[in-house]
Amino acid sequence: MTDTLPTDTLPTVRLRPNAEARAIRHGFPWIYADELVTDRRTRALAPGSFARLEDAERQPLALVTVNPASKIIARVMDSDPGAVIGPDWLAARLSRALALRERLHDAPFYRLVHAEADGLPGVVIDRFGDAAVIQPNAAWAETHLDALAEALVAVTGVATVVKNGTGRARGLEGLVEETLVLRGALAGPVPVPMNGAVYMADLLGGQKTGLFYDQRPNHAFVQGLSRGARVLDVFSHVGGFALAALAGGAAHALAVDGSAPALALAEQGAAAMGAADRFDTRRGDAFDTMAALAEEGAAFDIVICDPPAFAPSKQALEAGLRAYERVARLAAGLVAPGGFLCLCSCSHAADLTRFRTASARGIGKAGRRSQILFTGFAGPDHPVLPHLAESGYLKALVFRLAP
């Protein structure tokens, strides 16, 4: 990649007459395969190529990146068709993203780039102090990963850059899975301070980038309810809500997850906080473990369930909603009278209304009555592109259950 690529050398791709060019002009960032003229020349473009996009009347619309192998065949890189995608362009996008995060957070632990919402299509970057993890989930980012890493180091000054090439999004782009250190080195898990807790993030072997920053404000709300509470955190990952609750003065927290390495990291985090004596873990299937706890007669003042995406696509929506209902039913039965239940969904296909309905149905089937105290979303370091519902995927509902 260079910063001197003349735009007149770029290929041109064109929308079909039935495509909605107005949506692109107003900020929608994706062009689907059935909206683009896919002649032999377009199909021959290498995944990750840049091209100028025109409407059906051959009027210029934007500079895009093209992947003929993807259902999202083109992504808008810049609304200026004459833009040059090179080191200066990358540095400008990263600098703008960094300026927002430095305004939001006092310490360099946050999501630095949230894909299309930060003007870097398909790219996620999480920062962990002097280290950063890039998820190149679009073909252009995979092709130009070295240039992206160089710009990241230049703009932020991080010493270590990790590529996390895993996840469903890469498969949809035709990209293989791969995780490796691109710059610098890692000595082990990275301690991350957040909401007064300490989380241990495994940047090479953990889920996603190693930690979920998106739940920060929802952790904080539950933390405010936690003084003296008995807390159950199901689908806990590396301690999630449990460690936040301990930092808020919870009497005890039990973390449940299917991953032994994740629970080991949660234990390390609790020890780093000086809260190991108030923390326990239980490895197992979440549904089976909640059923077993009910048989044991266990009750908690606060129960949190933060599962993986049960509805990652429209095709999985109905099954996913049934799973969310089941989670709510099992979890509600473990909440002590007058206690609190926090239910979360990271499924963009299940909107807030559907998720709330499924959760309320499950609580009702458990024989409990409830009121909603709080509706939360991802933190502001996960900005939402107004035109793209998928960028606002996270929902969190906190219920108070009647005595």
Give the residue numbers annotated as catalytic, written as ranges.
346
Residue located via tokens 């299509």: 121
Q: Which helix (H) or strand (E) holds 358?
A: helix 352-365
Residue 272: enclosing H or E segment and its boundaries?
helix 260-272
Tokens of 126: 């999480």
* 3-state SS track over 40-73: HHHHCCCCCEEEEEECCCCCEEEEEEECCCCCEE
| Residue 80: how many other CB atoms lie within 10 Å | 11
Contacts of 176 (CB under 8 A, 6+ apart): 165, 170
| Residue 126 near residue 143 (C-beta atoms within 8 A) | no
- Other C-beta atoms within 10 Å of 40: how many? 6
Residue 232 token pair: 């159950």
- Distance from C-alpha of 375 to C-alpha of 396, rounded to nearest angstrom: 6
How far is 184 from 203, CA to CA, in rounded Å? 13
Q: What is the C-alpha separation between 245 and 241, in angstroms, rounded?
A: 6
d(CA 166, CA 111): 17
30-32 sheet: strands from edge to edge: 12-14, 49-54, 60-66, 72-78, 30-32
* Distances from the Cα of 267 to the Cα of 198, 218, 255, 260, angstroms: 10, 21, 9, 11
Closest CA to 239 of 192, 284, 179, 299: 192
The total number of residues shown for the chain amounts to 403
